[in-house]
Amino acid sequence: MCPVCTVTVIAGLGISRFFGIDDALTSLWIGAFILSFSFITIDWIEKKWPKLKIKRFTIPFVALMYLLVLVPLKTTGSIGIAGNTLWGIDKVILGTIVGSLVFLAGAWADKKERKMRGKQLFPFQKVAFPVFSLILASAVFFLVTR
């Protein structure tokens, strides 16, 4: 993951909230942001303090990052609003999970493509694959929530 990915996710989140787009769509970007920011932070800590060997704690660290975002959303009432569900699951929780998985799948697809071809197909491919995956998921959620 790279800082450009994170900035792109933040921009998408800000734009969707500004236009009052459904929570399921907005939370897709929240989930992607949390995951991207977690990986960037882990890489930064690993470079800054290599003796910590933070990569051994990737899963607990990422889980902590999710808690740091979702707990305040729950305590402020953004999660658990009656009727704010999709398929019986709170839209913010569902979107966060799906957004994280889709973003991870996009990053995986980029790595797989680079490995198969031995190079990147185009500039900023590392950014484009995860973001394009999120855009596709957003389009699907938009159609479902209309």
Domain range summary for the chain, segments of one domain joined by +:
3-145
d(CA 127, CA 129): 6
| Burial environment of residue 76 by CB neighbours within 10 A (0 to 12, 13 to 18, 19 or more) | exposed
Mean residue pLDDT of the chain comes to 85
pLDDT digits (tens, 9 = 90+) for 115-138: 888 887 788 878 888 999 999 999
Residue 30's pLDDT band, with cuts at 50, 70 and 90, is confident
d(CA 112, CA 72): 36
| Phi/psi of residue 40, nearest 5 degrees | -65, -45
Residue 15's pLDDT band, with cuts at 50, 70 and 90, is confident
The pLDDT value recorded for residue 88 is 87
Does residue 46 surpass a pLDDT of 90?
yes
The pLDDT value recorded for residue 8 is 63
Distances (CA, A) of 33 to 51, 68, 132: 27, 13, 14
* 3-state secondary structure at position 86: strand
Which two tokens mark 138? 């957003």
* 3-state secondary structure at position 85: strand
The pLDDT value recorded for residue 22 is 83
| Phi/psi of residue 17, nearest 5 degrees | -70, -40
* 3-state secondary structure at position 69: helix
pLDDT digits (tens, 9 = 90+) for 68-110: 888 887 887 778 888 878 888 898 899 999 999 999 999 898 8
d(CA 68, CA 3): 20
Strand partners, 86: 89
Distances (CA, A) of 82 to 53, 71, 88: 43, 18, 11
pTM (predicted TM-score):
0.80
Residue 43's pLDDT band, with cuts at 50, 70 and 90, is very high
Does residue 17 surpass a pLDDT of 70?
no
The pLDDT value recorded for residue 9 is 58
